[in-house]
Structure 1
Amino acid sequence: MELNPNENNKLSLNRFESMLKTNNVLFFDSDEFDNIIHHYLNHGKIARAKKAIKLGLEQHPSSINLQLFRVEIYVFENNLEKADNLINELYLLEPLNEEIYIQKANILSKRDNHKKAIEVLKKALKMTEDPTDIYSLIGMEYLFLDEFEEAKNNFMKCLESDIEDYSALHNIIYCFDYLEQHEEAIKYLNLYLERNPYCEVAWHQLGKQFMDLKAYEKALSAFEFAIISDDGFIGAYLEKGKVLEKLKRYEEAIENYNITLELDDPTSFALLRIGMCYQKLKNNDLAVQYFYKTVEEDPLLDKGWIAITKFYNQQKNYQKSLYYINKALNIDAENIAYWKLFAQINERLNYLEEAEKGYKKAIELGSYELSTWLTRADILLQLGEPQGAIYNLLQASEFYPENAEIEFRLAGLYYQLHETEKGFYHLKNGLRFNAEYAIILEELFPNIYKSQQLKSALKA
């Protein structure tokens, strides 16, 4: 009985593994070594691959393919000079071997010489009977150069040769997305689906394009076709759930997220979205249950902790809210929105020092909204730190140079510190920019507002 190729490959691999254990040297033909080395490289077993290359070359010293595997290992280990020298030797022996050109391009790519790599790959195209992989490599080199149109065109050529090359399809859509060509992507996907109507990947990508255009009903249809093509396609159920949320069809969204939980292990994303849907349906008990399930599934998912934080914040349970915002900040301490929420919660609890710390951190991270500067200044004033408030407002004035709210606050602070000349300067600025905001002086500096000095200045 004749063995099929997979069984032959397995038999060769088992013989090789047995040989390594016993130290008995067995003979393998060069094709067997090719398959053994491919297996090890595909599984990331580099040491085993190197052993197989060494033994293979001892038995077949003139094998170009085995030498090419040596080049591949050199490139993997970033030993580019050795790789280059060996590939040049092999080129002299077989100048028409397309694999030599591919490896040469690989070396050039590693050296960031992507244009030269493309030139070499185009030469390989002229020698090959199956151009699919080479078009894919050229496409990747164009991606390295940020030449997305060229990249896209080459990946399209991959699909012309192999309609089921879904890796190329993903790369094509990536290029469309980067170029913000959503309409063009939709046209391309529709043409592709005429050739391959049950391709769940294409339907899924089509739905995402419609999502980007906010064409939610069309997106929903596309995801439904993806599910018809493959009823176990978890990604399509998740996307369908997201569309149904956009359409405010929360019960149906929950149904789709629940299907993903049945098809595979629970994902924190699906659990979080179910919680959000229940919150929209005003079912707070189930909402918070799913938020807790989210963080049980993935304790490092800051979005889960934030969902719990916001839930308790809406319930005005600020102590619990504060506990959970700290959980989120322990995971992502660089998130501006989290620091602002931290500050707001502390402010509601009248923990002014912590609130000020939160606003300060938000500003340091790049939150330059006027409200952040103003709220921090008002808290510093309450904390009895007028100099800190002044410094904060002067920074704010660099971003908002003609703002009456800033100027009246500065006026009040300077008058409070008995720096009347500076106070008068900022008071005049505030009156010039927008006199209606003079009420700030009455609200924040009532004693100053009642003083004769300020009344005289306002009339001046």
Structure 2
Amino acid sequence: MEEEFDYNFSEDPRFSVERYEEMLRNHDQYFFDTQVFENIIDYYIEKNDPIKALQVVGYARSQHPFAAVFLIKQAQLFIVTNQVADAFAILDKAESLEPSEADIYIIRGNLFESLERHEEALENYEKALPIAEDTDDILLHIAFVYQSKGEYDSAIDYLKLCLEQNMENQDALYELAFCYDVLDR
């Protein structure tokens, strides 16, 4: 007998989590669409349980092997669990599936930035700019990289671009004041 589920995505994700956990308890296999899997993964992330979230990602990837969104989630979870090399490898795989996904380049840029590999961080942020919907945060990250390199004039240029897009960006305003202070302007 086939069950029909009229699932409203605005509903509490616990319904999906309960179905997923029931499936595990019963050693069964249920099909979940990509949005439901995303909700389940996000639920475990919000509960600060990256291990369970990674397990869900593995199951999601088995049902939706060409959905780059799960590779991106997996990379983010690898970062949280200090599996940096695995995060880079998964981001490469995600890029081969969906090279127009800005989050791939943003996450990779963040990783390179945290490793103080400035040129590679800048290269990835620059790749993300033309394909991202909102670019003010990317511009802010580029400014951070230039600040780390001690190139405050370049940082100021990117902070101004960031503020042109979002005058309300408090971080950009603070960093702009900081750069001017460092340069004694």
**TM-score with structure 1 length normalisation?**
0.34
- Kindly indicate whether residue 158 of structure 2 is the aligned counterpart of residue 154 of structure 1: yes
Residue in 1 that maps onto 2:125: 121
Gaps (5+ residues) in structure 2?
A: 1-7
Number of aligned residues: 174
Which amino acid in the other structure matches residue 100 of structure 1? I
In structure 1, what is the Cα distance between the partners aligned to 2:40 and 2:158? 31
- Whichever residue aligns with residue 8 of structure 1, its letter is F
Within the candidate set 85, 94, 106, 2:110 is matched to: 106
Q: Deviations over 1:285-316 (max 9, x none)?
A: xxxxxxxxxxxxxxxxxxxxxxxxxxxxxxxx
Q: Is the counterpart of residue 168 in structure 1 residue 172 in structure 2? A: yes
Q: Between Structure 1 and Structure 2, whose CA radius of gyration is higher?
A: 1
Q: 1:27 to 1:168 in 2, by over 3 A?
A: farther
Counterpart CA distance in 2 for 1:55 and 1:44 is 19
Distance across 1 between alignment mates of 2:69 and 2:168: 28
Question: Which of the two has greater helix per residue?
Answer: 1
3-state SS, counterpart of residue 126 of structure 1:
helix
In the alignment, which residue of structure 1 is the partner of 2:19?
A: 19
SS at match of 1:8: coil
Q: How far did residue 146 of structure 1 move?
A: 3.1
8 Å contact 1:53–1:69 — kept in the other structure? yes
Q: CA deviation at 1:137?
A: 2.1
**Equivalent residue number for residue 47 of structure 1:** 51
Contact 1:57 1:66 in 2 (8 A): yes
Deviation at 1:35, TM superposition (A): 4.2
Q: In the aligned structure 2, how far is the partner of 1:39 from the partner of 1:167? A: 28
Q: Cα distance, 1:118 vs. partner? A: 0.5
Report which structure shows greater RCO (CA 8 Å, sep ≥6).
2
Question: Structure 1 residue 134 and structure 2 residue 135: aligned?
Answer: no
Give the partner amino acid of 1:103.
I
Letter in 1 for 2:67: S
Change (3 A) 1:39 1:162: farther
After superposition, the Cα gap between the structure-2 partners of 1:170 and 1:51, relative to the gap in structure 1 and judged at 3 Å, is farther
Which deviates further from its counterpart, 17-26 or 158-167? 17-26
Unaligned runs of 5+ in 1: 1-6, 182-460
Q: Write out aligned runs for 1:388-403 (5 A).
A: none
Aligned partner letter, 2:98: E
2:138 match: secondary structure? helix
Alignment of 1:26-425 (within 5 A): 27-38=31-42, 40-41=44-45, 44-181=48-185
Structure 2 counterpart of 1:8: 9
TM norm structure 2: 0.75
- The letter of the residue matching 2:174 is H
Q: Name the Cα RMSD after superposition.
A: 2.8
Mapped contact 1:9–1:35 kept (Cα < 8 A): no
1:102 CA displacement: 1.8
